[in-house]
Structure 1
C-alpha cells in the first residue's frame, strides 16, 4: 500500500475508493484545460454564501489538519503529476515520518490560507492581495497554472464528511465560489510575472 493510501487510511479508517476522479474537472485524457482572461471580472460570492462559509469553517477548523491532509492525499492520488510540483515533496530520501510531517505542514499552510480568505471576504481587496501574491510565489516555484483549479474540488470532497448533517447544494456552491475566487486571483498573480 502506498504511503499516501496509508496516511489516508490512518486518518479516515477507510481505503480510497477511486471515486474522487469525478470530483475534479478533467478531460478524457486527464489533461486540464483552463482558460484565463485577466480582464474578466472576479467571481462573485453573495452575503449568504459568506455566512455559509464562515459557519462551515467554524466546524471544519476542529479537524483542520486532518481535512488538509486528506485533501492533499486525494489530490496526489487522483493527479500524481501534481506531487512533484511541490518542492518540499521532491526530497528523495524521506522516511514515512518525515514525509508525513512535510505533508502535514504544507496542508496546515494551505488551510491557513483558506482561513485568511474566508475572513477577508469582508475586505475583498485584502483577499485579492493575498491570493495574487500567492500566485506570484507559486509561479516562482514553477507551479503550472493548470494545477491551480484542482485544490477546490479536493477540498470540498474532504470537508463534506465533516458537514454531512448540514451539507446542501447551497453549501457546495458557496465553497465552489470561494475556490473560484481564490484561483482567479492566484492565476492573475501567476500571469503578472
Structure 2
C-alpha cells in the first residue's frame, strides 16, 4: 500500500488513545497503524542524506514559494479535513487557494522551517528545539497529531518535478528521513503538554 493511501486510510478511519508518554492510533479493524513513543530514540539521518538534502535544497529554494503553495494545495485536495483545520482560509475554495496571500505566507513559513531544519542537521540539538517548540505551538492551535505525518509525503511529491533530472531512490529516502525526524520532534512537543 502506498504511503498516501496508507495515510488516507489512517485519517478517515482511526480512533486514538493519547497520553503524555505515547500516542497510539488504531484503525477500525483494531490493528495498530501508528505508534509514537517519545522515549524511543529519534530517527537517524546519515551524512549522505545530509549532503543530498543540502544539494537538493539549493535547487528547491529557487522556487520555494511555489513549492510551498503546491504542497499545501495538494495536501488540502487529498485531505480536505486538514483544510478545515485552518481557520484563516477555511472558507476559501481549494481552487482559489493558489492565489491566497494568507496561505502563501503560511507556506513560506513552513518552507523556512524546512530550510532551518536542513541547516540544523549539523546541530541536531537546535533542530530538536525548533521542532519540539513548533509541535507545542501546533498543539496549542488544536492541530491533530495525525496531521503532522501528512506534510512529508506531500512535500516530496511537490519537489520531485523540480528535481526530476537528478531524483533517485536515495533522494526519496533522504527526504523521508528528514521528515521522519522533523515529525518525531514535533509529535514529541505535541505530547509534552
Compute the TM-score of the two structures, normalised by the length of structure 1. 0.82
User: For residues 31 and 107 of structure 1, do their structure 2 counterparts lie closer, same or farther at Cα, with a shift above 3 Å needed?
Assistant: farther
Distance 2:9 2:134 in 1: 30
Query: What is the aligned partner in structure 1 of residue 79 from structure 2?
Result: 79
Query: What is the aligned partner in structure 2 of residue 121 from structure 1?
Result: 121
Residue-by-residue CA offset, 1:71-124 (whole Å, 9 max, x unaligned): 0000000000001222322367xxx58961111111000000000000000000
Query: What is the aligned partner in structure 2 of residue 44 from structure 1?
Result: 44
Of the structure 1 ranges 22-31 and 155-164, higher mean CA displacement relative to structure 2 is found in 22-31
Compute the TM-score of the two structures, normalised by the length of structure 2. 0.82
Distance 2:88 2:37 in 1: 30
Query: What is the aligned partner in structure 1 of residue 7 from structure 2?
Result: 26
Structure 1 segments of 4+ aligned residues over 4 angstroms from their partners: 96-99
In the alignment, is the contact (CA less than 8 A) between 1:85 and 1:143 conserved in 2? yes
In the alignment, is the contact (CA less than 8 A) between 1:87 and 1:141 conserved in 2? no
Query: What is the aligned partner in structure 1 of residue 167 from structure 2?
Result: 167
Query: What is the aligned partner in structure 2 of residue 10 from structure 1?
Result: none
CA RMSD, Structure 1 to Structure 2 (Å): 2.1
Distance 2:107 2:55 in 1: 21
Distance 1:83 1:34 in 2: 22
Question: Which structure ranks higher in relative contact order (CA pairs < 8 Å, sequence separation ≥ 6)?
Answer: 1
Query: What is the aligned partner in structure 2 of residue 145 from structure 1?
Result: 145
Q: What secondary structure does 2:36 align onto?
A: coil
Given the alignment of the two structures, is residue 179 of structure 1 paired with residue 160 of structure 2, yes or no? no
Give structure 2 stretches of 5+ with no counterpart: 15-32
Query: What is the aligned partner in structure 2 of residue 59 from structure 1?
Result: 59
Q: CA deviation at 1:187?
A: 0.1
